Amino acid sequence: MPASSANKKKHVAIIGAGVIGLSCALWLQKKGFKVSLVDPSPPGSGTSSGNACVIADYGCIPINSPSVFKDLPHLLFSKDSPLALNPLYVARHLPWSLRFLAHCRPTKVAHIKNQLAQFLTKTYDGLNPLLELSNTKHLLRQDGMMHLFKTKQEFEAVKADREFRAQQGINSIYINSDEIRELEPNLKMPFECGLLTKAARRVLNPQTLSNTYFDCFTQQGGKYIKLRTKQVQANEDGVTLHLNNGELFSADKLVVAAGAFSTQIDGTGIAHLPLDTERGYHLQYNGLQHLLNRPVTWNRRGFYLSPMDKGLRVAGSVEIAGYSEQKNQRRLNYLQRISSQMLDLPSQPDQEWLGFRPTMPDSLPIIGHSPRSTHIVLAFGHHHLGLTLAGITGKLVAELLNNEPLCHDISAFSPQRFD
Ligand SMILES: Cc1cc2nc3c(=O)[nH]c(=O)nc-3n(C[C@H](O)[C@H](O)[C@H](O)COP(=O)(O)OP(=O)(O)OC[C@H]3O[C@@H](n4cnc5c(N)ncnc54)[C@H](O)[C@@H]3O)c2cc1C
């Protein structure tokens, strides 16, 4: 794609150097923009570093579900629930929870599923050019992905979701317990059946992917400002960022890609948006990647076991409890207890990690212009799918700022949908 010479001198600042911000940066550079990334933390070191490594282009089933109402007692009170809530936090942020529940109604869930499914079909249109550009194709493996079901009832409970995925052309084949054992001989717990999605890919290490994207970005002249943006001022000509060392930084355009923290920056006109965080955890076991041949998930338990380049990661769980950095030991114990039922794992992991998924109550991202200024583009809220959707989000952001026709209809991702 030829870089437009008209953009040569246009300067875009991006707040946030997670996988979303980095992907926007590379796509904008491809279009000829001059780009600066602003982030106090090392690139890719936030939520983007600790995920389950799966390019989940099959992941069109949101956590919003009509069954939430029926399952709530189990979800809230069972020690083996994949979900945990801090009642005080939920009570203080009741509007988000009520909106989330409102988006668990069947018509809303159907809309979310359709939107996610359509968007996910574009995953590789956004990702492949970045892998090519940054020479990172070797970081992706296509070994498939396995959903496991302990009982026939567990399998039957997801019948509608299975059928929906099949209608979308997502090809998952049924495997019985013998086939599971053959494909993953180290699984010690018997599973009744599974679904194997052969086309699924995984990233060997999401931090390495971000590092390589970042190197590519700087090699192409990108500037990195290792500071926090406190406030943004938009005027007729562009934007000015107020940084936490007191300096001002001006650019023609701005992309807000600060993940779960995006609405906490003053002056962007989006403080009213219902962004919250689904806290997620991982445990990592160094040197144990050989225990699995592909990512697996015991569907009902809400986390993945993913083989990486140098270890095995157990990643997932959802906790609604706000932005405190303090880890909830019960969530970590949950991951450890259940994963140890599945594989022979040491009693102590080598790493315990907490991250903050950026989540809107309708499980759709925000991609579009800020209501405050056409100089500001928003790109956040990718909840469980940020690694997967980063490339296509970057492509869309670059198309928006380049005033080109968009490769995907983003009206469902508009920030105005909550007005
Ligand atoms: C346990 C777990 C498992 C997951 N598994 C998967 C998976 O397998 N596949 C998948 O597709 N997705 C997965 N995800 C989701 C995915 O990791 C996220 O959606 C994605 O990382 C979000 O990226 P981001 O760039 O928006 O946010 P982040 O990675 O959090 O980056 C945001 C950046 O903004 C910076 N920032 C914040 N405030 C400011 C400010 N004021 N000024 C400047 N910078 C600022 C932060 O320092 C940070 O670096 C998982 C998430 C979790 C928690």
Give the number of other CB atoms < 10 A from CB of residue 9. 10
**DSSP summary character for residue 104:** T
Please write down the HEC assignment for all residues of 35-54. EEEECCCCCCCCHHHCCCCE
Element (H, E) at 369: strand 366-369
Q: What is the pLDDT of residues 230-288, one digit of tens each?
A: 999 999 999 999 999 999 999 999 999 999 999 999 999 999 999 999 999 999 999 99
Structural tokens at position 179: 């086939």
CATH homologous superfamily, domain 5-48+208-273+363-418: FAD/NAD(P)-binding domain (3.50.50.60)
**Distances, alpha carbon 236 to alpha carbons 35, 251, 339, 375, in Å:** 20, 12, 54, 9
Structural tokens at position 115: 């939107």
Residues of the chain with pLDDT under 70: 1-9
CATH (residue range 59-107+141-202+275-359): 3.30.9.10
| pLDDT given for residue 1 in this prediction | 44
Mutate to test the pocket of ligand 1, among 55, 380, 384 (most ligand atoms within 8 A of CB): 384
Which numbered atom of ligand 1 lies nearest the CA of 353? Answer: 1
Average pLDDT, rounded, for the chain: 95
> What is the C-alpha to C-alpha distance for residues 114 and 38, in angstroms, rounded to an integer?
34
Structural tokens at position 388: 């997967």
CB of 284 shorter than 6 A to ligand 1: no
Q: What is the pLDDT of residues 213-244, one digit of tens each?
A: 999 999 999 999 999 999 999 999 999 999 99
Ligand 1 atom 26: the closest Cα is on which residue? 259
- How far, in Å, from the CA of 227 to the mean position of ligand 1? 17
Q: Where are the domains of the chain?
A: 5-48+208-273+363-418, 59-107+141-202+275-359
Mutate to test the pocket of ligand 1, among 48, 145, 207, 328 (most ligand atoms within 8 A of CB): 48
pTM of the complete model? 0.97
Same fold yes or no, 5-48+208-273+363-418 and 59-107+141-202+275-359: no
CB of 18 shorter than 6 A to ligand 1: yes
Structural tokens at position 28: 């904008």
Mutate to test the pocket of ligand 1, among 41, 51, 116, 249 (most ligand atoms within 8 A of CB): 51
| pLDDT given for residue 189 in this prediction | 85
